[in-house]
Amino acid sequence: MSNILPNLETFAKGAFATAAGVSTVGAGLLWYGQNYLIYPSAFPPGSRTDVPIPSDFGLPYEDLVLHTPDGVTLRSYLLLQSKVLDNPQTAEIAFDRRETDEQFRASRPLVMMFHGNGGNHGHRIPLAKTFFLRMRCNVLMLSYRGYGKSDGEPSEAGLCTDAQAALDFVKSDPVLQQCPLVLYGQSIGGAVSIDLASRNPDSINALILENTFLSLPRLIPHALPALKHFSFLCHQKWDSASKVPLIPAKTPILMLSGLLDEVVPKEHMRQLWEIVASRGQKRKGNATTSSNNTKPGLERAKFIEFEDGDHNNTCVQPGYWQAVADFVASLAYMDTASSQKS
């Protein structure tokens, strides 16, 4: 892990805030120009053309070209496991010497990475490297439309379509469809993850959410205080608060929150956690009830706060990756326990 952290620190220093940094704009700009504020895909300069590749970090990969139903071409990365990887940082893992690389690959988790709203998916390769080498996960790094070298223009509907196209690809692949599927989303990528899981409740095995928000209209008073009275004009909703209850209580969720987050107030993650923990409760009017006085969603969910984590450096806080690794490793145990109960 010590060899991987320098790369993660480099990533954190170059990470990008969810808000575009604009503090005073007119209500008209909020309505007509909000896509440019919410999806600054050209920031920092060169992000549409200068896209790092996994081999720059010593990782084997495939260029994954996806075509969405509305005719947009996405240029993403796919990192696939082999029994033996030619990298000194690779974690040792037990496997049957008689199995093929494809059989080994099918037995490992597949992490679908949904990044934040600035930069491109190539800037997140150090994170993918940790999943790939330390946890021996397959990794699909999605490049949203209008980001990196993908075609199109970003929007809420568009990013949701892109995520679904990636999931459909996985479900159609004879090897990848066998992998436990984990969604990893940072900031707006957390909203993409929640939306995808809410629409495909039987296809997602687990979610990892970092510094994401209840909804964009509820984020505006903090991110753009001058426009707090015009939040109703925000047509890019990303209403995660209403979608989390659609994710089954049996789906494990790990939530990671930086208490110094200057973009997404910690209260957003805390309120999302309450909703996550309440999954599976029966509703009576405006109240929720549970037969055993516990929150069913708590059985497979965990919430961790990092005292010194801000919006961009939570992923390099002490204990972050150990928590992620423990969570990923626990998925096999959870599935085994469920099988024994049934």
| Catalytic entry in 41, 261, 268, 310 | 261
CA distance 42 to 197: 28
Picking from 182, 146, 179, the residue whose alpha carbon sits closest to that of residue 161 is 146
- Close Cβ partners of 318 (under 8 Å, ≥ 6 residues apart): none
CB within 8 Å of 271: residues ≥ 6 apart: 214, 241
Could you give the CA distance from residue 38 to residue 153 in angstroms, rounded to a whole number? Answer: 12
- Burial environment of residue 249 by CB neighbours within 10 A (0 to 12, 13 to 18, 19 or more): buried
Which two three-digit tokens encode residue 113?
Answer: 């990475």
Task: Kindly name the residue from 41, 47, 150, 187 that is annotated as catalytic.
Answer: 187
Residue 168's φ and ψ, nearest 5 degrees, are -65, -35
Among the listed residues 85, 240, 67, the one whose alpha carbon sits nearest the alpha carbon of residue 169: 67
The whole-angstrom distance between residue 273's C-alpha and the CA centroid of its chain comes to: 16
261 is an active site residue: yes
User: What count of other Cβ atoms lies within 10 Å of the Cβ of residue 160?
Assistant: 16
Q: Which of 115, 121, 268, 311 is catalytic?
A: 311
311 a catalytic residue: yes
What is the Cα–Cα distance from 214 to 147, expressed in whole angstroms?
A: 24
Strands (E) in the chain, as ranges, are 62-67, 73-79, 110-114, 138-141, 181-186, 206-210, 253-258, 282-284, 287-289, 301-306
Closest listed residue to residue 234, CA positions, set 32, 18, 4: 32
Task: Spell out a b/e string for 316-339, using b for 16 or more CB atoms within 10 Å of the CB, else e.
Answer: bbeebbebbbebbebbeebeeeee
- Catalytic (active-site) positions: 187, 261, 311
